[in-house]
Structure formats: structure tokens, C-alpha cells
Structure 1
Amino acid sequence: MGRFISAAVLRDMAKLNKTVVLEEDSVLTPSAKDLAKELGITICKGREEIVGHNVVGQSAGQKQTPAVNSAEAGNQSEDLKKAVQKILGEVLKPACENPKATHVKGETVVVQPFLEAPPGQKVGLVDVIDSRVGNLASGFMTFDHSQLPWFLNYDEVDYVIEGEFVLEVAGQVFRAKAGDVVYIPKGSQVVFSSPTFCKVFYCTYPANWADFCD
């Protein structure tokens, strides 16, 4: 699977130049594409422009209009490649440099309102293990007759503790009950919900999942 370029990563890359050259295996998230259009960022893979106003890499015999001056692009490509590698290195490094065994007592856990939920939606969330102690995060979510559209730029496993948990992803609808386990792969656009009330235990990788949210 190619490396995902999130909106946060793209924003950092665009600080160097409004024309961003990606490695061939890179994959833009939907939010990154929207950001590129919003900020007028031109994104290329080699000679092919994948986001921008110009058309590059057309079929033989058709006139090509390069996104930038070819000499300028040639001079910048090596610097941009190094910048991309540096940023990806930061993104892909372990979330926790010194993981340690940790015991969290259930009686101390308090689920807080999730501030990123849409107005009027009763969604709660709390991390009990985070990047301060491990590379894998875990915690609890609650949904009270509510739903939460979300983009996951990380892997997640959910275990239903109580109630009915509904997950819509990639054209599929999963209706999970207490005792069921659901896996959601990185790069998924989902809708979490419950028609009643449910409580879910989740695990995410990497632990600093919030750093990859836009």
C-alpha cells in the first residue's frame, strides 16, 4: 500500500513550495486533495499532474502544458524529494519512544463529550492508553442515538461492550452487538452510529491517531 499524504502533511510540504512533487507510491487522502484545491497547491507525480489547473502527461501527439517551468522543476525536484522524505520520516516514526506496561483501573475512567462530533450528536470518547505510554492507543466511545461521520487515517479495532453499534464503510453496513469485534482499515471514510445507546472499546494504530485527523 502506498504512503498516505494527509492534509496536515501536505500543509507542511506546501510551506516550501506551492508545487509539490510526490513519490510514485504516495496516496493523497480526500481531505488533502480538498486542501490542495483550496490553497492552490499543484501536486505532481513525476511528469503527471494529479491536482492542479494544468494538464500534464497527455497522450502522444497532444500538446502538453507543464504546470511549472521544466528547468525550475528540475532544480526543485531534488530538494522537494528530500523534504518529502523528511516529513514522511517524521510521520512514520514510532508514536512512543519508550513504551511501558500500564494498568488502567476501570473505576478511574470517565468518558468525556467528543468535541469533534457534529452539533446535537451525543458522542463520548476517552483514551485510556495513548502515545505517552505505547504505540497502540485504546479507549472507550459512546453513542446515544447519535452518529459520527469520520475519516480514519489509522487502523482501528472496535469491541462492542453494550448496545447496538452501527458502522457504515465502503458501501457496507455492519450492525454489531455486545461481544462483536469490528476492524476498520486505514484510509476508510466511515459513519459510526447507534440507534439506541452503545459503548465501544477501541484500539488504534498508531497511538497518536489524533495527529492524523484534519
Structure 2
Amino acid sequence: MPDKAQRVRKFDYRDTVFTHRGGPPGHAEVGRTIDASISETMGAGFARWEGAHVTWTLLYDEIIFVLEGALQVEAYGEQHVVTPGQMLWLPEGTELAYSGHALFGYALYPGNWKMLNGL
């Protein structure tokens, strides 16, 4: 049997510890569920956006999947509205702005992007 870190695991956003990531105005928070203690290659978690507007340049590939509400992602002059049941792919290097009111999940690669970028 694999060690505990390598076993199949289930995560629930209601059990996730969230940290503030943006606002005011509004509020944005992110809860990382898959980190280096679980995987050296992937990262994942949940996030809540409540009217915050956060700009960022991706240092990883990211997939966003919305559970509730609507997340707006502006990239390359285009506005993408992601609603429940939809997923958005964002490649590394994308300059973007997240906004809206949504509960969403995300997955990213590589999971150790902070270390790779000296952060």
C-alpha cells in the first residue's frame, strides 16, 4: 500500500481553510488542498470571489471550474464568463484579471511554481 500522501483522497470546499487574496473592494480568498505535501507536480484547491478584482500573471498552467455563481476572467482583451458546469483553461504566462461572485475549484501545474520562480 502506498504511503498516506500517495493514497486516494477526497476534498470538500466546506472543510477547506481559505486565506485572503484580494479586496477591498469585495473579497477574494483561496484554499489550497493539493500542495507539495501531497504532490510535487500538481496543485489544486477552491476559491471564493465576492466582488474582488485581482490581477495576476500566471506562473503555471491553470484550469478553473465553477461550482456556484459566475467568475469573470479577462485575458488578452477578452472577457470570459465561467458559470457552473463550465471550465476555463489558462496557459502559463497569461496576464489576467479575476472578478465576479463565484465559488470555484482550480488545478494548476507545476504545483511547485513558487519554488521554481524563487517565491
TM-score w.r.t. length of structure 2: 0.83
Greater fraction of residues in strand: 2
Among candidates 201, 208, 213, match of residue 105 of structure 2: 201
Is the counterpart of residue 210 in structure 1 residue 111 in structure 2? no
CA RMSD across the alignment: 2.0
Among candidates 108, 112, 134, match of residue 15 of structure 2: 108
Kept after mapping to 2: 8 A contact 1:129/1:138: yes
Post-superposition shift, 1:183?
0.3
CA displacement 1:153-192 (0-9 Å, x = unmatched): 1100000010011001112110111111000000110001
1:134-149 superposed matches below 5 A = 134=39, 135-149=41-55
Greater fraction of residues in helix: 1
Post-superposition shift, 1:110?
2.8
Q: How many residues align?
A: 112
CA separation in 1, counterparts of 2:33 and 2:118? 19
Post-superposition shift, 1:112?
2.5
- Percent identity, aligned pairs only? 22
Moved segments of 4+, more than 2 Å: 117-121, 209-214
CA displacement 1:12-62 (0-9 Å, x = unmatched): xxxxxxxxxxxxxxxxxxxxxxxxxxxxxxxxxxxxxxxxxxxxxxxxxxx
The answer for the alignment partner of 1:130 in structure 2 is: 35
Question: Which amino acid is 1:110 matched to?
Answer: V
Distance 1:210 1:126, change over 3 A: farther
CA displacement 1:141-160 (0-9 Å, x = unmatched): 11101111001011000000
Kept after mapping to 1: 8 A contact 2:43/2:110: yes
CA separation in 2, counterparts of 1:210 and 1:124? 18
CA separation in 1, counterparts of 2:94 and 2:77? 11
In structure 2, the gaps of 5 or more residues are none
TM-score w.r.t. length of structure 1: 0.48
In structure 1, the gaps of 5 or more residues are 1-98
Query: Which structure has the larger Rg?
Result: 1
